[in-house]
Structure 1
């Protein structure tokens, strides 16, 4: 059965805010970019450590089976290459900025970074990009 797509729209409004509020928002976005980039770097390290494993390469060349997939998953987990492994990493990073960015916001940034590297890991992307200073970034929370 085909899914019907509902069109979505976004609208931008300029905000009339005080200077201190603008600085606070800019600081939060700067910290979010820093947290995202550090999570992306850590996820890339873990991705490379998984790919460097000889057993991983051997299993990839072998015939597909549930046992093979289970063993590949175990290797990824042993190297900390999982979304929740990255959540553990982001706890330490977020603690430095706990006055400006919450733990759930940091976990969401870690999830986005992991999903980006996961695409690279499974061959759905060719490379990943770190957020530059002037790049836009959005900050969201895991809860309402």
Structure 2
């Protein structure tokens, strides 16, 4: 026979246990979201790097940024969502430079090497540094 006080303690234990299992589900969902976001961005980045062989850098970056907005982040940690938004905004800020070079075509990294030597090199390097630093913030959430 369970005493009244024990029954209350058991109910509290069950409630806390259920809460912990929900936390575990949330942690799994969070991990899955982080893995998916980083995997999708990796795929988008590969497309982006080649797309500017046919499109301008600005068009390529705009398409990439629009695709970034469509990634589902509902179960991601808020800190990751904020970091990823900052990363997207850093890419969008690069348009200030790339808009000046509508006729450049080629693989993105090759074009970026050219922009490092352009008249806009100071602003370009500042924008590129922001892209790399915001990506470092996103990568902190990458599964180990």
TM over 0.5: no
TM-score bracket relative to the smaller structure = 0.3 to 0.5
TM-score normalized by the length of structure 2: 0.44
TM-score by length of 1: 0.44
Q: Which has the larger radius of gyration?
A: 2
